Structure 1
Amino acid sequence: MFRSKDGGKTWQKALYRNSDAGAVDISMDPNNPRILFATIWQTRRSFWNLNSGGPGSGMFRSLDGGDTWEELSGRNGLPGGVLGKIGVSISEAQRGRVYALLKAEGDKIGLYRTDDYGDRWIQISQNRDLMHRPFYYTHVFADPEHADAVYVSNLQMWKSTNAGANFTQVITPHDDNHDLWIDPVNPKRMIEGNDGGACVTFNGGRTWSSIYNQNTAQFYRIDVDDRHPYRVYATQQDNTSISVPSASEWGVITLGDCTYPGTGESGFIAVDPKDPDIVYCGAIGSSPGDCGALQRYDHRTRQIRLVNVWPEKTSGMASKNMRYRFAWTFPITFSPHGQKTLYVGGNHVFRSRDEGSSWTVISPDLSLNDPARQNHSGGVLTHDDSGAEVHATCASIVESPHRNGEIWASTDDGLVHVTRNDGAQWSNVTPKAMPELAYVGCVEISPHGADTVYIAATRYKLADYQPYLFRTKDGGKNWDSIVGDFPKCEIIRVVRADPVRPGLLFAGTETGVFFSLDDGEHWSRMAGSLPVVPIYDLKIKGSDLVAGTHGRSFWILDDVTPLRELTADPKEVKLVGPRPTVRSKLNWIVGPGLSKIGMSYGLFWGIGAATEVVELEDDGAIAAISIAARIRPTGRLSTTGCPMICRARSSSRSAMPLTRPLSSSRATTRTFPSTRS
């Protein structure tokens, strides 16, 4: 834990345990800021293991503003020994009262309270509803006005009005509750953070504001179909899979335009290229079927069918004891050569030709298959074998569009394999420069050459934040690094090759999107309105670049044609022709009320969105910017009314869609949806 005495200009280390433990919670007495309670948590997490708890965990107290600290663990009624995560909260309503929620051995787990700043503690509750998955939650909050009122956030949110003896559930808009701010002046006014977003209450939690007004969707992998307008699909963390149109006739995409093709919380999603009503998605964590949960969704019937490769109950099982291992984000992909051939990746590659009704193993175990990285996860206090740490599996699978039966597969422990005879034999073609245990999350076959293949890898979970990009031009015999002048410490998750211009590459990183015009020798960050956010997947659809972010929903860059026509010489001037435009909006009704600056709720009767005419900051022009709820407009941004999808124009002026002129101004549509998916 660090402390600043000059408003954050400089910092000094105030509390330290060891290299395996870190400060996780701190509470300052509102009545005396020199009294501090802090907790240290011993934990480490890797690709294959979570180890929570150990002798490094503990509770500490300072009575001099953090100059000196004393450990309270194992003293005055607090348990000692092996401890896990600890939450702490000092009461403002009663001097001396402190609540502590902690993970300990056996029946020592639970909620503790002291009324004399830690000189004597009593265990109040062993209620297991307060302690589900302790590493993930373990948060406690004292009410600032009522000494006996205390909140605990967990899978559900809980409140006690008798100092922790009994708890009742506080219903929130979403499960997995993690944070809470209580207004010290009016405790009925609270802001709560959960895995669905943030919500506000003005009546002590009886009702909450919506979480469907925030661009906070976290996507793992995405896909697009061939409809017009095409739809974007993704699996999203702690929510359903979702399908969102890239455009609509109203000029704004509302919640009613979205569909939910499965419950897939995690993993890949694949749309049947011959029938876009059929969607397959990985659903570990949000579906029956445990590790390897694979859903087939039929939009015509709105029904889901489990088509797991191997139906085995694996919750609580060490991955070394599983028949087949499937990672949290196991690959799902269709063959580009028809016949409804579907591939799925576990530690083997599996193939189905009957829509998942049966599966054939077509590879050996392609991972390192090291049993040392396949044990129970969670730590000495609590096993947590939920599927997130299943390791030594395929991370990406793709069949060559040039050669039927040539299948490439990469793993989460640093290997790349290829078969050129439909799985009969496999060859290890891993680049020699591939670092040990790299997560090889993307294999991209060039549209312009059968033997040119790109791969993206990362080792950020092993504290290695360097970018790794490789290219082969001879089918995997030799590999070159194409990191070029990529920024250091910019991890790369995905690389895509443009289908029109050879050498035009796009890379999704931890902070945005980069592009190269010369096949990876030089890289540039794509500017514009895309926020700083992890890019987990990219797709190129026609001349659109579609990005799935982990925290800011979908983004679409309209028209990469200028990049396709640019030369590598930045001094050369070139006139870029616009792409063909298809009229899709109901222009006779969309955008009424643009005659003055302000809000207009007249998009059309029954459409859950509104428009706002604003003045652009760059040149004072009047425009109605299309945007999701509460996002500030910029000169380059045009987003839809659904907080799931945002559109970034490829130029700041000419690409902005004109509706009708206001004097000499340009205008687009800014929209505010009533809900979000």
Structure 2
Amino acid sequence: PTDADHVYVENEGSYESFDGGETFQRVSTPHGDNHDRWINPTNPMVQVQSNDGGANVTLDGGATWSSQHNQPTAELYSVDVDDRFPYWLYSGQQDNSTIRVPSNPPATGSAGGHTGNWEAVGGCETGPVVPKPGEPAIVYANCKGRFGRFNQETGQEKQYYVGFQNLYGANPADLDYRFQRVVPIEVSPHDPSTVYHGSQFVHKTTDEGVTWEQISPDLTAFRPERQTISGGPITRDITGEEHYSVLYAIEESPVQAGVIWAGSNDGLIQVTRDGGETWTDVTPPDMAPEGRVQTIDPSPHRAGKAYFAYYRTLLGDLTPYIYKTEDFGQSWTLLTPGHNGIPSHHATRAVREDTEREGLLFAGTEFGMYVSMDDGTTWEKFQYDLPRTPITDMKIHQGDLVLSTMGRGFWIMDNLSPLRQAAAAMAEDVYFFEPVDAYRLRGGGFGGFGQAGPDEPQYSPVGAMLDYMLPAGVRSVELSIHDGSGEMIRLYESEGPGVSTERAQEMRAPFFQTRGAPSPGTKAGLNRFVWDLTVPGPGGAARGGPMVVPGQYTASLTVDGETHERSFNVLMDPRVAADGVTVADLQEQFDLALEIQAAIEDADQTIERLRGVQERVSEGTDVERQLKEIERALLTDDSISSYPQPMLRDQFNYLYRNSISADQEPAVDMYDRLEALVTELEEHKSQLERLSRMVTDG
């Protein structure tokens, strides 16, 4: 801004000229594929630069740059999920590796900070990377049209390309098989050994890519004049991204095997109902031509029903296109006319129907998310805290809505049950949603009410999610939890009218969980309360109690005196069950923890009584000395700065913490130790009783 001859040009590299563009020199940036640069108009040394790795700031004209490792700016082309518990998310990231990340922290944790659980899984930046059902160590991976089988156990990727032609630099007219950089890989929902893959043809393998069978003719609107070298002789750019007349989406119906849909990037959608023996072009006749069939979603409810999102932004058309068929493509309905909720300039990239509630649809657009409760007749914005960014793909998995974005990484909406029950909720002033079953998990999600550091993934809270809808003006809310016998084991009370359960996060990075019992919200609209599956700790403390045993529980919601009840199950962590732990083990552990709690409370009452007797005794007397000896036996001397000897009260605490630190059958030594500690406590109680009588009798 202060020197007209000083020019920057952003390209794959970043370039700088000091003579008005006559000569350029390449300059360093933190990442390649540079897109934009902002220069402070009053202080040109301050600049912000963006590229395929994120954004970075310089205060010295580009000599040094800020880190890109403090921002979730991954550009993800798609999202796939595995069937582990908890599940992991998979994608290719533009100008980076493929990636696999957990939906909740792995049980073992990681020493690598917020990137410690990231894993590359074969293929390359384009993806997709699709885990094999039932065997997540095996991942079917793509790199710019090249198919591979990655094995996490060996770290090796076997190469099984269709045709084995080098695509880079090749004129697409000379290729036997035209592959886009981002090609479809679809594992059959009916047979995990069957995988579909797309060039201009649909290819099928049943041996993980060793052999391929072509099961379709060319399913594109092939036009020879479109098969050219992108950029011509001057800016030649042939990496596969430019290949036209290729398949971009392949999906098999989860309802009926052999019903396979295929969509091309030049405007056709086709279907087979016999596993590829015959194909029918079912492209809507009035659809704008030559766009990209971005995603196809065969309905999980009916075989003949399907949706697809159509994308023409690269042709200068931002119109949203989502189509629905209920008769295998014989007829189509446009669900996005531009006046029913999705604006006429919000181009659509993805559409998904809920796996449980038919007609509940989600649409991912160039500018965020939309939801339809009526099978696409109307749409509503569904953004909340989601960044305003392109939504590239969606999956509905284990009750969650999982998203990939172009520029802001993965996002998950936990627990879709309120949306699935929305129709019933709208008919009531107060509605207590049916809870989903809750798993006993340890260590994940930073606790039901804790906080993560600002650079950590914001994992789902652990516990039972209790959702309820309230009208305006509610004064009080109580939530109580009851076990299978009807006994109340937890009670939470609201703080006042109009209060949300949400907590503002401090600017500094919190290193510990917030303390104290949470309060159920009273604000109008949807409220979510997460019970952490524990009972009170020793002395009725809000935290620190043992986790409840798997079984059925009832939540009772009382709103201004009116009570609503819902039942749900607490389930064992499947990984714990696989380790041989039984519900009987957990019941025994819970009972032991309550025994130790009772002993701790007995010790605390003894200490309190000791204090009372000490207040009635003169200093220097023999009784005062004996009371002091009891105190030293019960309480650790905190005046010793390093490694004070833990006395009886802390010995109880030590045993208690160990007894509930993992899901397990209690150790025999735990019982022996508790018996010894209780015996010692009883001896001190007897001594205290004797001394107390002496003081009382004078």
TM-score of the aligned structures, taking structure 2 as reference length: 0.61
User: Is the counterpart of residue 654 in structure 1 residue 533 in structure 2?
Assistant: no
Which aligned pairs between 1:547-626 and structure 2 lie closer than 5 A? 547-567=403-423, 570-573=426-429, 574-586=431-443, 623=503, 625=505
Does structure 2 retain, via aligned residues, the 8 Å contact 1:593–1:600? no
Q: What do you get for the CA RMSD once the two structures are aligned?
A: 3.9
**Matched residues in 1 for 2:347 and 2:43: separation?**
44
Instruction: Find 2:375's aligned residue among 504, 509, 519.
Output: 519
Which aligned pairs between 1:298-377 and structure 2 lie closer than 5 A? 298-338=151-191, 340-377=193-230
Distance change >3 Å, CA 166–CA 441, structure 1 → 2: closer
Which aligned pairs between 1:62-141 and structure 2 lie closer than 5 A? 90=3, 98=5, 140-141=7-8
Instruction: Find 2:72's aligned residue among 215, 234, 245.
Output: 215
User: Is the counterpart of residue 282 in structure 1 residue 142 in structure 2?
Assistant: yes
Instruction: Find 1:454's aligned residue among 307, 322, 327.
Output: 307
Q: How far apart are 1:171 and its partner, in Å? A: 4.5
Residues 143-171 of structure 1: per-residue CA shift (max 9 Å, x gap): xxxxxxxxx65544567899999987655
Instruction: From the two aligned structures, give the one with the greater strand fraction.
Output: 1
TM-score of the aligned structures, taking structure 1 as reference length: 0.63
**Matched residues in 2 for 1:412 and 1:267: separation?**
17
Which aligned pairs between 1:168-179 and structure 2 lie closer than 5 A? 170-179=27-36
**Matched residues in 1 for 2:315 and 2:258: separation?**
34
Give secondary structure in 1 for the equivalent of 2:320: strand
Aligned length: 479
Which aligned pairs between 1:475-490 and structure 2 lie closer than 5 A? 475-483=328-336, 485-487=340-342, 488-490=344-346
Does structure 1 retain, via aligned residues, the 8 Å contact 2:148–2:209? no
Q: How far apart are 1:431 and its partner, in Å? A: 2.2
What is the match of residue 262 of structure 1? Answer: 122
Does structure 2 retain, via aligned residues, the 8 Å contact 1:220–1:537? yes
The higher-RCO structure (CA 8 Å, 6+ apart) is 1
Instruction: Find 2:105's aligned residue among 248, 257, 261.
Output: 248
Give secondary structure in 2 for the equivalent of 1:305: strand
Farther off after superposition, 178-187 or 189-198: 178-187
Farther off after superposition, 248-257 or 210-219: 248-257
What is the match of residue 534 of structure 1? Answer: 390
Does structure 1 retain, via aligned residues, the 8 Å contact 2:105–2:445? no
Does structure 2 retain, via aligned residues, the 8 Å contact 1:235–1:267? yes
Residue identity matched to 1:258: W
Give secondary structure in 2 for the equivalent of 1:562: helix
Structure 2 stretches of 5 or more lacking a match?
460-497, 511-524, 537-541, 544-698
Residues 362-381 of structure 1: per-residue CA shift (max 9 Å, x gap): 11100111011111211463
Residue identity matched to 1:243: R
Give secondary structure in 2 for the equivalent of 1:461: helix
Distance change >3 Å, CA 483–CA 164, structure 1 → 2: closer
Structure 1 stretches of 5 or more lacking a match?
1-27, 31-89, 92-97, 100-139, 142-151, 285-291, 611-617, 631-650, 667-677
Does structure 2 retain, via aligned residues, the 8 Å contact 1:239–1:263? no
Residues 205-256 of structure 1: per-residue CA shift (max 9 Å, x gap): 5654321111211111110111111111111111111111111168998211
Residues 560-595 of structure 1: per-residue CA shift (max 9 Å, x gap): 10111121894544421221222323289969998x
Query: Percent identity over the alignment?
Result: 39
Residues 64-120 of structure 1: per-residue CA shift (max 9 Å, x gap): xxxxxxxxxxxxxxxxxxxxxxxxxx35xxxxxx25xxxxxxxxxxxxxxxxxxxxx
Residues 387-427 of structure 1: per-residue CA shift (max 9 Å, x gap): 22211111211112233222111111221211222222211
Does structure 2 retain, via aligned residues, the 8 Å contact 1:220–1:236? yes
Residue identity matched to 1:262: G
Distance change >3 Å, CA 476–CA 201, structure 1 → 2: closer
**Matched residues in 2 for 1:268 and 1:255: separation?**
21
Distance change >3 Å, CA 626–CA 483, structure 1 → 2: farther
Does structure 2 retain, via aligned residues, the 8 Å contact 1:347–1:393? yes
Give secondary structure in 1 for the equivalent of 2:503: strand
Distance change >3 Å, CA 431–CA 568, structure 1 → 2: farther
What is the match of residue 402 of structure 2? Answer: 546
Does structure 1 retain, via aligned residues, the 8 Å contact 2:35–2:50? yes
Give secondary structure in 1 for the equivalent of 2:116: helix
Residue identity matched to 2:528: S
Residues 267-310 of structure 1: per-residue CA shift (max 9 Å, x gap): 433111121111123222xxxxxxx2223221112222332112
**Matched residues in 2 for 1:244 and 1:515: separation?**
26
Distance change >3 Å, CA 449–CA 163, structure 1 → 2: closer
